[in-house]
Structure 1
Amino acid sequence: MEKHHYTQEINITDALMARINELVSHYPADKKKSALLPVLHEVQDAHDNWLSIELQNKVAEILELKPIEVYEVVTFYTMFNQRPVGKYMLEFCQTSPCCQRGVEDLMDYTCQKLNVGIAQPTTDGLFEVRGVECLGACGYAPMLQLGDYYHEHLTKEKIDQLIDDCKAGNITFYDK
């Protein structure tokens, strides 16, 4: 499988740098690495929800870390994206309770509806379907997360409505 190197414009604005400095201020001066997770979230949010190698290098520079220290975190946690992703990331819980309630069929249905495979953005860049580990809402299975929000007791009809709402721009998916 061929590896693709994705590039992106790095835009560390004054506002973003102020937010990074505020996050770093919560930790002892000699422990900047402690701010790595929240800083990566802020930087990813400000860069179309993904982190290129160059952007990871910039975070390392800002936090005075070795680049490998940032790469290790970005490659370990699935909430950090290493390539461009769909604007609306439909993250379906794939653990036992959701599987027992039919999440795999709903994922297949969603992929067919959007004409994509798992972890493949739609051609318009609006959607991406992913399977993730437990989201901690087992009593509401099957469910998915879209940004900061859970969508529970899923059915094909609920997925149709969610997709329609996203396309129409009638959905909130982040608290910010």
Structure 2
Amino acid sequence: MNKALLAASVGLLLTGCSTYQAVTPVDRPDVSDAFAAFQPAGGGPRGNYGANGTLLCVVVNPVTGNDYVEAFRASLQQRNFEVKLVRPDASVAACPMVALYSARSAWYWTSYLSSVDITVFHNGDRVGKAIYNANRSAGGLNLSNLVQPASKLEELVEQLFPGMLPPPSAQAPTYAGPNT
């Protein structure tokens, strides 16, 4: 009897908590060329914003958190965005593309991403949004939210900008052979 009660209690603890994640991908009028979709008219496939690609200004919320902003930046740069951090009071029309970013971390055996809110604007219009909350529940124990923060941000950015991650380099590994 005691074992059954213990098993039921543990089961309730494990199922009582869940994460929440919702992503609305960034609208792209031309999905055949994801990069050209974000360029001003006549900008070309990589635009006029520099060698790394489309300029994406990031407005970091200083009040609710800016944890892991470097991991967010790295994930965007992998998709050939030229990322520029702008002042927290910058308008969503400050750049052709703007991402409002807010993230918080928490600690439970290790640091983890507690919540993220990313809203993407193109020419002042909202075109995509990602929300993640690891603690959105009535309580309980949930170990699924203890993923690496950079991995979770990478997942969210991939869902926001699907198909924009360049393929791995086509370089074949070379074999030097044994030393003789």
Higher helix share: 1
Kindly indicate which of the two structures has a greater share of residues assigned to strand. Answer: 2
Give the alignment's TM-score, normalised by structure 2: 0.30
Work out which structure has the larger RCO, using CA pairs closer than 8 Å and 6 or more positions apart in sequence. Answer: 2
Question: Which structure has the bigger radius of gyration?
Answer: 2
What is the TM-score normalised by the length of structure 1? 0.30
